[in-house]
Amino acid sequence: MTAATPTTQDELKALVGRAALDYIGHGRIIGIGTGSTVNCFIDALAQQRERIIGAVSSSEATTQRLRAHGIRVFDANEVEELEVYIDGADEIDPRGFMIKGGGAALTREKIVAAQARRFVCIADQSKWVEVLGRFPLPVEVIPMAAQRIIRQFAALGGTARVRLRDGAPLVTDNGQHILDVTGLAITDPPAFESMVNDWPGVVTVGVFAHQRAHVCLLGTPEGVRTITFDGPGR
């Protein structure tokens, strides 16, 4: 009997979560990101957790899920280099540049990605775009700078709003706030990332161009499409 073709977004996420296991070596420490697609990967990894020594986590939520599965979590400062970093994306383009931060973990995600030799992005096909910017761009900011940074995005044609949770500004794992920016088409992600990172008060912008993906495992109804990104951009 043939397996049913995955069609729902949840089924596609589970498909790429399982596929990412092929990128994990035995006896290594790996980096793990945050989000619903990553949760599918963690649940698949839990069935083979003896393959790895442990993981460096990009968020408190991921840490809790890993520990619940009996997977050891290392502090980033305990590990010099990671074999691979597995994470999702809110958008990914044909050059491997991404928008990330829908789960408010962008700063720690970027830190862990910078420690890894290889970034494997797992995503369903709805995340594939030609130009970044359709998904609201997350920017982690120091709260006292929020209104000035909102005005700086307005000067670029973007509309930035403070992300709220239960009517109050969401507070990240780092104690900061998130702006979500709409109305931008990010045609030069590396230059845009560098520019916004230089604005006083910005902790991290959710464009991942300097830490772009090496490989994308894209879930489609036809199966997992493996896309490898070559050339400059890191």
109 is catalytic: yes
Q: How far is 109 from 127, CA to CA, in rounded Å? A: 18
The amino acid present at 161, given as its one-letter code, is R
The two three-digit tokens of residue 15, written as one number:
């498909």
Query: What is the torsional sign of CA 86, 230, 102, 177?
Result: positive
Return binding residues: 34-37, 87-90, 100-103, 127
Sheet of 98-99: strand order equals: 91-92, 98-99, 207-208
- Give the CA dihedral 36, 136, 167, 203, nearest 10 degrees: 90
Return binding residues for substrate: 34-37, 87-90, 100-103, 127
Consecutive H or E run containing 228: strand 223-228
Rg of the Cα atoms in the chain: 17
Beta bridge pairs of residue 205: 139
Q: Could you tell me if 118 and 214 are in contact, meaning their C-beta atoms sit under 8 angstroms apart?
A: yes
Judged by DSSP in three states, 132 sits in strand
Catalytic residue among 50, 91, 109, 140: 109
Task: Indicate which residues carry an active-site annotation.
Answer: 109
